Structure 1
Amino acid sequence: MPKACKYLILLSYVLMGKATLNTLHAQEVPELAIGGALRFNYNLSSWKPAQKSRGGDFGYDLFRINTKAAYKGIHLNTEYRLYSKAFGGGMLKQGWFGYKFNKTNEIQLGLTQVPFGIQQYNSNNWFFNLSYYVGLEDDHDMGIKYLHLGDKIEYQLAFFKNAEETRFGNDTEITHSRYAYDVAGRNKELNQLNGKFIYKIGSQLKHRLGASGQYGGLFNLDTKETGNHYGLAIHYELTYNDWNIKAEAMNISNNPANAPGISREEISMAAYGAAYKVAADFTIYTFTIARKVPVEWEPISALKIYNDFGYMQKKKEDFDDSIMNVTGVLITAGNIYAYIDYAAGLNHSWLGGNYIDDFSSGTPGADWEARFNVNIGYYF
């Protein structure tokens, strides 16, 4: 194990010991809260002529269960999702144990969110932003994380042993049944270190200036050698009254130790029951803007109008870049939330074209494709 990992775990033990002596938030009565959601989805896609002729499709999206529990200062947070078999079936999105030392400091252990970039989401729409499709938005991995969430400064330090794992064979690839995209195929994420820093300015005009970094290994099941991957990101978020703006730039490099004859210019990533190729080296730029609009149209209580843009610039010259833009509105009516989105993409695996290669080599001369999507969910 790298020395930095040992130091992080040692620090966690020390802080845990201090917290135990202070006996902060050690409630005597167990607490339990259960929630969840049921969602349905309608979509009409420009690249599906038969679907267009029947006016689109409306069907099941997911059912999920969320649990939160606490006792003696130790708390639990889980979310389990059930998609259709075609989209991966059942999967644990997150699940971790935590301890709050005080109001600003906390430690989490388990399947917890990777501290990289704008969180919790670098987007406003149902599709997320382009960063999600390459494992850089709302990603969760197996490890330990320390959080400091102060009034002016926030930082997170984490060590992740690997991506979420449900197979424990000697030569076993990760399952494609997962919520967030991770490196898949003959490479596995290993011993990743993450650090994130946020500086907050202003009370009415709120600014969040941030920087993130990560470094980890890529263990190859064929060569039994370990390559590496790393990323850097700078991010900015502005909130003023009902307006919100997010901007982010991230530079990513993957260096797999593949067997001879296997390209090192791309990697395999998987989620929702299937895998595709992603360029090994790229830069992503994202920009989102949103405005909340209070209304009194019973039962509708609020609208959020937004536009989310993402651009993926691939380092290999003969790879075609990928672009994504989503314009939409979120409608709130009691416990029902409905996303109405128009998502357009160029060389985007989930928006027409070639699913396997769009985020790697792409398709020269590809056309823009679009999907009109309505996602309706009841959250309890």
Structure 2
Amino acid sequence: MTAMIEESWMVRTSYAITSTVANRIRKEWKIICCCLFLFFPMITNGQDSTKINDKPKLHIGGALRFNYNNSSWKKEQVKRGGDFGYDMFRINADAAWKQLSLHAEYRFYSKDFGGGMLKEGYVTWHFNDSTRLDIGLTQVPFGNITYNSHSWFFNLPYYVGKEDDYDMGIKFERKARHWKYQLAFFKNAEELNFGDKTAIDPGRYSYDVAGRNKEVNQGNARVEYLLENNSSIGASLMAGGLYNIPSGEMGSHYAEAVHANLNWKRWNLKLQSLYYQYNVNDSTQFKNAIDMAAYGASYQVAAKAFIHTASLAYTLPVKWGPVSTLTFYNDYSLMDKTISGFENTQMNVLGCMVTAGPVFTYIDWAAGKNHPWLGPVWDDALASGTPGEKWHSRFNINIGYYF
């Protein structure tokens, strides 16, 4: 299976990269700025169709989740038959008044997983039914969204900050017939310390550059063509600065992706292929790997790589007491590190989501090779990796009540 996916997905010619990434970034910034000017006049069109909420509205929701897991590389845990415990409690707030709305989600994890953290929180100005502007900690428009996967574990792009990522900035979105456009500027990732030479706090939901570097002044452009049955195909681009704390110099980072989200009857297929690259401006730093952090801890990630994903799901309606739906899925992803001597990373999640009213249960068998969350090696798994590393697996059940 792996060989077939590698052969069919590694079409590197579709990701032509110039020899000087900085020049490419400047060109892409010009494109992003031009797009902003082109679409800005459209913002005011059709304001009469906006549904205005004259009276303020507020809804409070949330979720409580528990988790069972049994990991093949944890010998004592295997002897115990796995562990079952607290995963997360969250509070959601949604408010609306006239053309403004607010969405926020705060999560409470255990101390070892980062403790309390704001996953997302932003204010939206609804210009009309098809055009909006988000300001705050909002989802980065890149790749298949909201998710590029079906399982509780997500896919490999999540673990390098390229799936379900949230940063601080402003995002413009517009739908026009069969097209959806998103343009964004992010000043930085979640900033919790506001220091002068302070590294980012690892207590965050989505993975961001950490340690000696910070993501700054990032531009994003995403476009998708909308097909029937809520299907779509699209492309995404991001480019920004990479501030090095010790040297005080600015480096750069860049990523691009092509993606498809296809529905047919009860089937869903998500395909994505992306390339990313980080260029550190620090003569004293090892430049083939970079720190990334989330959930209270950091690890090393290869400074450049291709990541290819294929995720297939089938939804089966049932009538088993409170159980109404079974969703079977298999999510596969390959991280092809384009650095000599670095070992590739693979991940596969086979599972089923059980829907019973407000209770959602993910039953997953997740397997990984050179994966920090699916194996005994944490720091270097997504960077240099381990030569000859074997597959490790984790059986996981996540039960959540959403209200």
> Structure 2 length as normaliser, TM-score?
0.89
Q: How many residues align?
A: 376
> Pick from 347, 351, 356: which aligns with 2:374?
351
SS at match of 1:81: strand
Counterpart amino acid of residue 148 in structure 1: R
Aligned counterparts of 1:202 and 1:360: Cα–Cα separation in 2? 40
Aligned counterparts of 1:332 and 1:121: Cα–Cα separation in 2? 18
Name the structure 2 match of 1:40. Answer: 66
Higher helix fraction (1 or 2): 2
Specify whether residues 10 and 212 from structure 1 end up closer, same or farther in structure 2 by C-alpha distance, changes over 3 A only: closer
On the 8 A contact 1:255/1:264 being kept in 2, the answer is yes
Shift of 1:357: 0.3
Name the structure 2 match of 1:231. Answer: 255
On the 8 A contact 1:12/1:107 being kept in 2, the answer is no
> Pick from 218, 239, 245: which aligns with 2:269?
245
On the 8 A contact 1:8/1:159 being kept in 2, the answer is no
SS at match of 1:195: strand
Specify whether residues 34 and 7 from structure 1 end up closer, same or farther in structure 2 by C-alpha distance, changes over 3 A only: farther
Kindly report which structure 2 residues correspond to 1:108-187, keeping only aligned pairs within 5 A, or say none: 108-187=134-213
Name the structure 1 match of 2:388. Answer: 365
Aligned counterparts of 1:182 and 1:81: Cα–Cα separation in 2? 18
On the 8 A contact 2:102/2:122 being kept in 1, the answer is yes
User: What is the aligned-residue identity percentage?
Assistant: 50
Aligned counterparts of 2:45 and 2:119: Cα–Cα separation in 1? 28
Counterpart amino acid of residue 286 in structure 2: S
Shift of 1:3: 7.5
Name the structure 1 match of 2:338. Answer: 315
Shift of 1:276: 0.2
On the 8 A contact 1:336/1:378 being kept in 2, the answer is yes
Specify whether residues 225 and 20 from structure 1 end up closer, same or farther in structure 2 by C-alpha distance, changes over 3 A only: farther
Kindly report which structure 2 residues correspond to 1:1-380, keeping only aligned pairs within 5 A, or say none: 18=44, 24-203=50-229, 207-258=231-282, 260-380=283-403
Specify whether residues 21 and 149 from structure 1 end up closer, same or farther in structure 2 by C-alpha distance, changes over 3 A only: closer
On the 8 A contact 2:148/2:270 being kept in 1, the answer is yes
SS at match of 1:50: helix
> Structure 1 length as normaliser, TM-score?
0.95
Shift of 1:5: 8.0
Decide which moves more: 118-127 or 145-154: 145-154
On the 8 A contact 1:5/1:159 being kept in 2, the answer is no
Aligned counterparts of 1:54 and 1:106: Cα–Cα separation in 2? 51
Q: Please, what is the CA RMSD of the aligned residues?
A: 2.0
On the 8 A contact 1:12/1:146 being kept in 2, the answer is no
Q: Gapped runs of 5+ residues in structure 2?
A: 1-28
Counterpart amino acid of residue 94 in structure 1: E
Aligned counterparts of 1:22 and 1:222: Cα–Cα separation in 2? 52
Aligned counterparts of 1:11 and 1:171: Cα–Cα separation in 2? 38
Specify whether residues 11 and 111 from structure 1 end up closer, same or farther in structure 2 by C-alpha distance, changes over 3 A only: farther
